Amino acid sequence: MNESGILKNRVAGWRIIVFIIAIGLVFALYIVRLLSLQILGFDEYFSRAEENRISEISLSTLRGVIYDRNGIILANNIASYDVVILPANLPDDPGEIQEIYRQLSELIDLPVNLGEVAPETPYVPCVSEHGITQIADYGITSAPFRTVKIVCNIDRTLAMIIQEKAVDWPGVDIEIEPIRDYPTGSLTAAIVGFLGPISQFDESYYRERGFVPNRDKIGYAGIERYFEAILRGKPGKRVVEVDVAGQIVRDIHPPIAPIPGQNITLTIDTRLQEATEAILLGEIGDWNAYFAELRITSGVAIAMNPQTGEILSMVSFPTYENNRMARVIPTYYYEQLLADVRDPLLNHAVGAELPAGSVFKLSTAVGALNEGVVTPEQIIDTPGLITITEKYTPNDPGFEREFVDWNRAGFGQLDFLGGIANSSNVYFYKLGGGYKDEVPDGLGICRLGTYAHAIGYGELPGIELPDAADGTIPDPTWKRINHGENWAIGDTYISSVGQGFVIATPLQVLMSAATIANDGKLMRPTLIHEVTDAEGNVIQSFEPEMKWDITQDPIIDVFDDPTAPGGCEAKLTGDKTTVQPWVVEIIQEGMRLAVTQGTLSIDAVGFQKVDIAAAGKTGTAEYCDEFANEKNLCKPGDWPTHAWTVAYAPYENPEIAVVAFVYNGGEGASVAGPIVRRVIEAYFELKSIDVALGSQ
Amino acid sequence: MNIPRGLKFICMQNISWRHFDFWLLGAVALLTLFGIVMIRSAIAGNIELVEQNTVQKQIIFALTGFVVIIVVAAVDYKILSALSQPLYVITIIVLALLVFFGGALFGSARWFTLGPILVQPSELAKMVIILVLADFLTRHQDKIHDLRWVARSLALTIGLVIWILLQPDLSTSIVIFVIWFALIWASGLEIKHLLTAVGGGILFLGISLPLMLITYNPEAEGGLIRPYQVGRVINFLFPAEDATHGDLYNVQQALVSIGSGGWLGKGYEAGTQVQLRFLKVRHSDFIFSALSEEFGFVGTVVVMALLFFIILRCLRAARLASDTFGALIAYGVAATVAFQAAVNIGMNLQLLPVTGLPLPFVSYGGSSLLTMLLGIGLVESVILRHKALDF
């Protein structure tokens, strides 16, 4: 052993300096790194730290209430009692937790253990089927300071029992959540609609506005959908500081309270709606029983005040039960509705596009009189059948085509009123397409189109329903585009009686009659009586809106050589004209005559029993759609028919106009007629009750 | 042997407390105090840690530690040369007993309980290995150019480390190997041997890495390395930005904590990452991130400067030590502080992978703090007895 070595410090100085340099370099590197993180990266890291701690909480708002015109609630928010677990408050002891689960399980009839929360079987509040343990464990792992729903919408009494028990069950609680309730259910489902979840597609739009998918719902149909923006309100907001477990530490800004949605009062009278539904369903039921088969599959009845456009009742059959969709849309029920060929989810009153049949003759009638195609007094020969030469081009030698009247015996000699009252097809063929020397110049498709538009056909009615359709008023250009064929004279004949390419919705048919009833003033049909805010202040009060007055506003297009072949646009002169008031009057008379002596005068309709003067028009529209084809009903010359009737009353000062449509109903007058008559009757009965009660 | 009398004799020798390094003690005291203050802030919101009286425990450890500094400084380190061999044997026995029976008796092979506190013998083993190696290398410094003696010192180290590796505690084992390397370097390891070792290492990697890559099969269990090991390396080298859980999340949150501190920090007890507990293990392994958030760049640099100052003062003691044994003790302590600080800070800055090494003097942990303060006591003992050339 080297003594001197032990007693002397023989650690080389340079080796220590090398060490110092090495450490110095490492520390220098660290300081550079610190500079880059804390100084250069400050903005990014600071915002990430803020993102960590700041959380925005959307405070749910209350959706507006929907009332009928008398204040009866059609859509409302009611309390739903949900059993929830706040995982963070559960006891520490697993045995205690299991005991709570076990006791809770007995009360709510949900197994303690069921299934597994996995990507294939995710936890969806109130929907997915998982046991209490699985749901609670999901909550513990995802957000221990937020409640997870165990079961939803339990009975109020049960909720009270659990609330009491929850004193001894830390972590278990009852949450009260508003859900949508439709007291009138399927009666008004086609109008009111229903709610559904915010889809992925709409998620960003609604998130921006403070809504939370899986919590908030949006309108999927009807008024709920059309007035989504008015009804939904504005969610409130809390900006809070949260810790890593998601527990709220404090509010960073004062919370912004939610603004409830506005309330909507509809023009619907629930009592008349009930009556209308009962009458329509009763009539359909009776006929189906009579034929001993499910012959009539759908139907519509609408009542409207022709002077204001207010829809008083609107029944579309078949429909659905919107209460079943109040919390969630049950898949099996929704799929069942979608699979139903009768399309119960569609409001047929505004969305079904159908051959209008003879009710459309009102367009031909207004046009023919106003354009001087006939005079009211002119007598037209109306045999049961006429034959014309069908040509597709001017040089086409053509072929003979027969046009038959619904009355194969014919009506003989008819003046204008007789033509309308008896709804003679031959009369209107001749008016529409012209016939030899008798009616040298028919109205022609171009002029027919402009008059049809003037009384409400071929365009959107302006009603506040999302499924409103516009129908079709054909013209030669339309036919070229859609069918690749030239317009033939026969097409004009057929169109003149509302067959062929003419399709319309029940509401459009009602509008056409209401325009005549209202002396040419076409009121925009509306369902909205009033909009109020949550405090009841009126935001928007009812104001009837006239679309136009055909006797005042020049909306009738004037054409050059209107009956010549070719497209209508090319023949537009650019001039517009009006309908002469006497024309409307004559048609009113014709419709009155239909009730007193014509198609609507038969006993089956029963207008004799009503002491209020009514006027109307029937329609028996031939159709051959996929369903008729399937049943092999489309036999040439004997197609199945839809039944139509539209009428208004009182004749002198009309306050109600009603349309009824019965799919595959057969003859217009005998099937749809009684419906219209009974709805009119019900209206006046209710009115007399109201008068007696002094409420009007 | 009559150690108490010998101790007394040695203590009473004409040492001058004038040479006591008050700068070193001051820096250590400042850093320890800062650690306690920072731990107090870091555990806020963690009821469990508050209930365990974490801060109070650390204060008691710190006070005990400063008593230890004075006592150890008073003892002449030279007698430790004779004590190093028995200490070595005792340490190995304790560590071995822990490995065999610790799991059954205390639930872990790493520590045993002494009343309310956990004692971690592997921490103390760092100081023991410094003493053992300093003694060994002092006696055989003239033979250090012979690789066989280097190998013997390594064998001595492995004889102790093996029990720590078996616990298993890889990071403490690495610290002890680093102490070994630092001490043979200071004792005069031949540069050519070092270069050979470095060259050998490069050669080893040069051959094994391609082999690993060739045999690597992510699907199969075979091959020289396993997919999860590759995953860890890839995770460190190319961290995924959007990871929200696990180690990576913690490291990301550490970076967010540091970066959001800015120049002056968010203020004491006002760091959102710390107070709202987004930063994990913020009172021990990641206390550096916590102080970076609350005291910013300036505070962090002050702490690093204090650490660097402590290392320099220890190295000063090594320079001034009257003998090689004392110099190697001081140097070994400096190396321990430096390595642990470098690894811990590097991990916080995401420049090094995550290991469980605490930040010296600052991180929570009684055994670690006591060991470090014991080391400072040794350094003070060395400086107290340096060749007083100035009088």
Q: What is the CATH number of the domain that holds A297?
A: 3.40.710.10
Residues 6 or more apart whose Cβ sits within 8 Å of residue B170? B355
Asked if A250 is an interface residue toward chain B (Cβ–Cβ < 8 A), one would say no
State the DSSP code for A156. H
Helix (H) or strand (E) holding A266: strand A263-266
pLDDT of residue B12: 45
pLDDT of residue A608: 86
Best of B193, B260, B281, B383 to disrupt the A interface by mutation (most A CBs within 10 Å)?
B260
pLDDT grade, residue B2 (50/70/90)? very low
Chain B residues with CB under 8 Å of A50 CB are: 260, 272
pLDDT of residue A464: 94
pLDDT of residue B231: 64
Which residue on chain B is closest to A50 by alpha carbon? B272
**Apex A214 CA angle, A212 and A219, nearest 5:** 80
CB contact under 8 A, A31 and B187: no
Chain segment B206-247, per-residue pLDDT in tens: 887 777 777 666 665 555 566 666 665 666 666 555 444 456
**Interface predicted TM-score (ipTM):** 0.89
CB-based contact A142:A123 (threshold 8 Å): no
Q: Is residue A36 part of a domain?
A: no
What is the residue-wise DSSP string for B356-374? -PPPTTTSS-HHHHHHHHH
CB contact under 8 A, B322 and A7: yes
Stretch B287-316: mean pLDDT: 95
Q: How much of chain A, in percent, has pLDDT values that exceed 70?
A: 99
Which residue on chain B is closest to A4 by alpha carbon? B323
Chain A residues with CB under 8 Å of B319 CB are: 9, 11, 13, 16
Residue A32 in this model has a pLDDT that exceeds 90:
yes
Stretch A323-337: mean pLDDT: 86
Residues 6 or more apart whose Cβ sits within 8 Å of residue B32? B62, B65, B361, B362, B369, B373
Residues A280 and A365 in one domain: yes
CB contact under 8 A, B322 and A24: no
How far apart are the C-alpha atoms of A548 and A454, rounded to whole Å?
8
C-alpha dihedral (B144, B149, B150, B151), degrees to nearest 10: 170
pLDDT of residue A525: 96
CB contact under 8 A, B139 and A1: yes
Q: What is the CA radius of gyration of chain A?
A: 36
Cross-strand bridge partners of residue A263: A532
Chain B residues with CB under 8 Å of A52 CB are: 253, 256, 272-273, 276, 278
Best of B256, B277, B320, B343 to disrupt the A interface by mutation (most A CBs within 10 Å)?
B256
CB contacts < 8 A, A to B, total 151
Chain A residues with CB under 8 Å of B296 CB are: 38
Work out the number of other CB atoms within 10 angstroms of the CB of residue A604.
12
Residues 6 or more apart whose Cβ sits within 8 Å of residue A307? A518, A521, A523, A544, A654, A655
Residue B168 in this model has a pLDDT that exceeds 80:
no
Residues A276 and A190 in one domain: no
Q: Is residue A10 part of a domain?
A: no
Residues A60 and A163 in one domain: no
**Which of A179, A211, A230 lies at the terminal end of a domain, its last residue?**
A179
Residues A99 and A242 in one domain: no
CB contact under 8 A, B262 and A243: no
pLDDT of residue A2: 42
pLDDT of residue A402: 86
The tally of CA atoms less than 13 A away on the side-chain side of residue B353 is 12
Tokens of A127: 């929907």
Please tell me which residue, A439 or A647, carries the higher pLDDT value.
A647
Of the candidates A37, A66, A77, A393, the one whose C-alpha atom is nearest the C-alpha of residue A216 is: A77
How far apart are the C-alpha atoms of A594 and A417, rounded to whole Å?
9
Residue A550 in this model has a pLDDT that exceeds 90:
yes
A205-209, A452-456, B12-16, B94-98, range with greatest mean pLDDT:
A452-456
Of A26, A42, A243, the CB nearest to B45: A243
State the DSSP code for A302. E
pLDDT of residue A5: 45
**Which of A204, A238, A266 lies at the terminal end of a domain, its last residue?**
A266
What does the mean pLDDT of chain A come to? Answer: 90
pLDDT of residue A635: 81
**Apex A311 CA angle, A309 and A316, nearest 5:** 140
Which residue on chain B is closest to A1 by alpha carbon? B139
Chain B residues with CB under 8 Å of A26 CB are: 342, 346
Of the candidates B196, B275, B220, the one whose C-alpha atom is nearest the C-alpha of residue B38 is: B275
How far apart are the C-alpha atoms of B355 and B339, rounded to whole Å?
13
B369: amino acid identity, one letter = L
Stretch A537-565: mean pLDDT: 90
Flag whether the pTM goes above 0.80.
no
Of the candidates A112, A313, A30, A131, the one whose C-alpha atom is nearest the C-alpha of residue B304 is: A30
Residues A152 and A231 in one domain: no
CA distance B324 to chain A (A): 4
Of the candidates A305, A307, A301, A261, the one whose C-alpha atom is nearest the C-alpha of residue A281 is: A301
Q: Is residue A441 part of a domain?
A: yes
What does the mean pLDDT of chain B come to? Answer: 84
Q: Is residue A131 part of a domain?
A: yes
CB contact under 8 A, A16 and B297: no
Q: Is residue A533 part of a domain?
A: yes
Stretch A202-230: mean pLDDT: 90
CB contact under 8 A, A6 and B323: yes
Least confident of A258-262, A494-498, B117-121, B385-389: B385-389
Q: Is residue A595 part of a domain?
A: yes
Least confident of A463-477, A510-524, B37-51: B37-51
Please tell me which residue, B53 or A521, carries the higher pLDDT value.
A521
Please tell me which residue, B250 or A290, carries the higher pLDDT value.
A290
CB contact under 8 A, A30 and B315: no
Residues A172 and A193 in one domain: no
How far apart are the C-alpha atoms of A436 and A386, rounded to whole Å?
11
Best of A9, A33, A50 to disrupt the B interface by mutation (most B CBs within 10 Å)?
A9
CB contact under 8 A, A30 and B346: yes
Q: Is residue A11 part of a domain?
A: no
How far apart are the C-alpha atoms of A81 and A176, rounded to whole Å?
5
Domain with A385, as residue range(s), is: 270-693
B322: amino acid identity, one letter = S
How far apart are the C-alpha atoms of A387 and A401, rounded to whole Å?
5
> Is it true that the peptide bond before A506 is cis, omega within 30 degrees of 0?
no
How far apart are the C-alpha atoms of A400 and A419, rounded to whole Å?
25
Residues 6 or more apart whose Cβ sits within 8 Å of residue A673? A600, A602, A604, A605, A606, A607, A616, A618, A645, A660
pLDDT of residue B225: 60
Of A9, A23, A45, the CB nearest to B255: A45
Residues A352 and A397 in one domain: yes
Total domain count, chain A:
3
How far apart are the C-alpha atoms of A618 and A356, rounded to whole Å?
10
Of B182, B278, B308, the CB nearest to A27: B308
Which residue on chain A is closest to B258 by alpha carbon? A38
Of the candidates A255, A210, A258, A237, the one whose C-alpha atom is nearest the C-alpha of residue A61 is: A258
CA distance A243 to chain B (A): 4
Chain B residues with CB under 8 Å of A37 CB are: 255, 258-259, 349
A382-391, B96-105, B376-385, range with greatest mean pLDDT:
B376-385
> Quick one: residue A410, left, alpha or beta (phi over 0 = left, psi -120 to 50 = alpha)?
left
Asked if A246 is an interface residue toward chain B (Cβ–Cβ < 8 A), one would say no
CB contact under 8 A, A49 and B272: yes
Residues A160 and A303 in one domain: no
Residues A572 and A433 in one domain: yes
Residues A212 and A162 in one domain: no
CA distance B265 to chain A (A): 9
Asked if A39 is an interface residue toward chain B (Cβ–Cβ < 8 A), one would say yes
CB-based contact A545:A526 (threshold 8 Å): yes
Which residue on chain B is closest to A54 by alpha carbon? B272
How far apart are the C-alpha atoms of A314 and A222, rounded to whole Å?
12
CB-based contact B368:B361 (threshold 8 Å): no
Of A5, A11, A241, the CB nearest to B318: A11
pLDDT of residue A445: 92
CB contact under 8 A, B322 and A42: no
Q: Is residue A281 part of a domain?
A: yes
Best of A37, A44, A141, A248 to disrupt the B interface by mutation (most B CBs within 10 Å)?
A37
Please tell me which residue, B92 or A152, carries the higher pLDDT value.
B92
Of B256, B296, B320, the CB nearest to A49: B256
Which residue on chain B is closest to A38 by alpha carbon? B259
pLDDT of residue A632: 82
CA distance A477 to chain B (A): 59
First-to-last CA distance in chain A? 125
Q: In terms of C-beta density within 10 A (0-12 exposed, 13-18 middle, 19 or more buried), how is residue B324 classed?
A: buried
**Which of A141, A156, A179 lies at the terminal end of a domain, its last residue?**
A179
Residue B127 in this model has a pLDDT that exceeds 90:
yes
pLDDT of residue B311: 96
pLDDT of residue A367: 94
Residues A518 and A566 in one domain: yes
Instruction: Calculate the alpha carbon distances from B166 to A235, B112, B371 in Å.
Output: 60, 16, 21
CA distance A12 to chain B (A): 7
Residues A188 and A168 in one domain: no
Residue A73 in this model has a pLDDT that exceeds 80:
yes
pLDDT grade, residue A680 (50/70/90)? very high
pLDDT of residue B344: 94
What is the residue-wise DSSP string for B129-190? HHHHHHHHHHHTGGGTTSHHHHHHHHHHHHHHHHHHHTTT-HHHHHHHHHHHHHHHHHHT--
Tokens of A624: 């051959």
Chain A residues with CB under 8 Å of B315 CB are: 16, 19-20
Least confident of A100-109, A353-362, B382-391: B382-391
